[in-house]
Structure 1
């Protein structure tokens, strides 16, 4: 990652239920960087500027499998990574048809232009003001509590446990997840638990920590999400697993 510049900022308290982070990825070199995108339980709006003139905005849905990608030479990415509650109460779009892919946005989201990709802090301030103005005043407290439980438990609670804690039937929750996000609640929790496990894998801890049944189950889930075993993932040869590479040590 020597040729790649990366920055991340957390949102203010008003946006904390909806935004996971703001981030910048910049490849100022003349060489493309081949990477693998790993599932991380977020959806993103990404603003891309190539060669200081080609500008576009992409809405990317949830990833459920590893995807090969290229960080193009002379390209800057500024992005907002959203928590799931934002789909209904901030963005107003469903992303059920965007699993493992993205779509170009035809209009300028948040009035962001290529000139806003010159300064990351200024970008974060501008997009934060826009997102704050979009927050719906009527939020279903069951959904708010559900997502809090998922995130705070690192995806380790079962569907039954989550259903009982928020007084919402498992069937209704799964219908909501499938219709809005394109996956079941259980599938999402598996993704989120995998993401949290990456911190241990990066430290060389190649054994289960987060309520995996056993070592075999852990290896199977990691391989499903990354395409490789925990041992291979921890080596991260050539920094190709981008999420692992940019995680704090």
Structure 2
């Protein structure tokens, strides 16, 4: 997907098939504006690796864990960001690192992490190929069938499922599943399902529909969940004044 406006230039590419259960997308954002405007990132259930450079600021590589509430992002005028959004299974199968301690936080990485450098920000297609190759080289074992089934169903159902349904589908006990989410992500399965459901509601809000399309108990429940994960009511989130909510700013109307 490619999107370009007056201020933000955005490109997002899906990974090739071997990485589809580990990588959601590889993407870039270039901000051509000089405006000192803060942004807000809302939870989407991903682990994100970023390469970032801005005028008069040092080059950075950092990684963030699962977000469970809106995160305020400092102004980033005249900047370039290349990123990889990973599905949770990447914690075990790519990073081999628990991300429980990075819930709602980020970690600065060495400037040469995975062989990346500031020079990689000059060409997105080259970055896409390099990142895909590096990620593939870090996967050393096949994904467990039960775990793959759980996460596939979470995403295909848009979070409209239950822990017991996931357990029946995958033959992975609810207790084992809960321990896995707690260990690797620092979050409960139910909380993760709520994040995915909220994330799938963003498109309807972008289109100006303030009534729940997914399986919320009622409109009051929907409003509470939107406010929990974005900090504002659905009507204000949809307005997205000054492009404050970054995911909505980069999303096309459907």
TM-score, L = length of structure 1: 0.96
Deviations 1:28-67 (CA, angstroms, capped at 9, x unpaired) = 3333331111001111010111228721210111111011
Are residue 7 (structure 1) and residue 11 (structure 2) matched? yes
Are residue 200 (structure 1) and residue 197 (structure 2) matched? no
Deviation at 1:108, TM superposition (A): 2.2
Q: Aligned-residue CA RMSD in angstroms?
A: 1.4
Deviation at 1:238, TM superposition (A): 1.2
Instruction: Please say if residues 45 and 81 of structure 1, whose CA atoms lie closer than 8 Å, have aligned partners that are also in contact.
Output: yes
Are residue 28 (structure 1) and residue 28 (structure 2) matched? no
The residue aligned with 1:141 is 145
Instruction: Please say if residues 27 and 71 of structure 1, whose CA atoms lie closer than 8 Å, have aligned partners that are also in contact.
Output: no
Q: Which moved more, 1:66-75 or 1:120-129?
A: 66-75
Alpha-carbon distance in 2 for matches of 1:2, 1:44: 25
The residue aligned with 1:150 is 154
Deviation at 1:248, TM superposition (A): 2.2
Alpha-carbon distance in 1 for matches of 2:76, 2:208: 30
The residue aligned with 1:121 is 125
Are residue 110 (structure 1) and residue 124 (structure 2) matched? no
Deviation at 1:102, TM superposition (A): 0.2
The residue aligned with 2:225 is 221
Alpha-carbon distance in 1 for matches of 2:37, 2:13: 23
What secondary structure does 1:22 align onto?
Answer: strand
Alpha-carbon distance in 2 for matches of 1:10, 1:173: 27
What secondary structure does 1:97 align onto?
Answer: helix
What secondary structure does 1:33 align onto?
Answer: coil
Instruction: Please say if residues 111 and 117 of structure 2, whose CA atoms lie closer than 8 Å, have aligned partners that are also in contact.
Output: no
Deviation at 1:106, TM superposition (A): 2.3
Are residue 100 (structure 1) and residue 107 (structure 2) matched? no
The residue aligned with 1:184 is 188
Q: 1:213 to 1:53 in 2, by over 3 A?
A: closer
Match of 2:63 among 59, 62, 70: 59
Instruction: Please say if residues 207 and 215 of structure 1, whose CA atoms lie closer than 8 Å, have aligned partners that are also in contact.
Output: yes
Runs of 4 or more, structure 1, over 4 Å off, are none
What secondary structure does 2:136 align onto?
Answer: helix
TM-score, L = length of structure 2: 0.94
What secondary structure does 2:38 align onto?
Answer: strand
Alpha-carbon distance in 2 for matches of 1:112, 1:185: 33
Q: Which moved more, 1:189-198 or 1:227-236?
A: 227-236
What secondary structure does 1:175 align onto?
Answer: helix
Alpha-carbon distance in 1 for matches of 2:35, 2:209: 33
Match of 1:18 among 19, 22, 25: 22
What secondary structure does 2:30 align onto?
Answer: strand
> Any stretches of 5+ residues in structure 1 without a counterpart?
none
Alpha-carbon distance in 2 for matches of 1:55, 1:28: 17
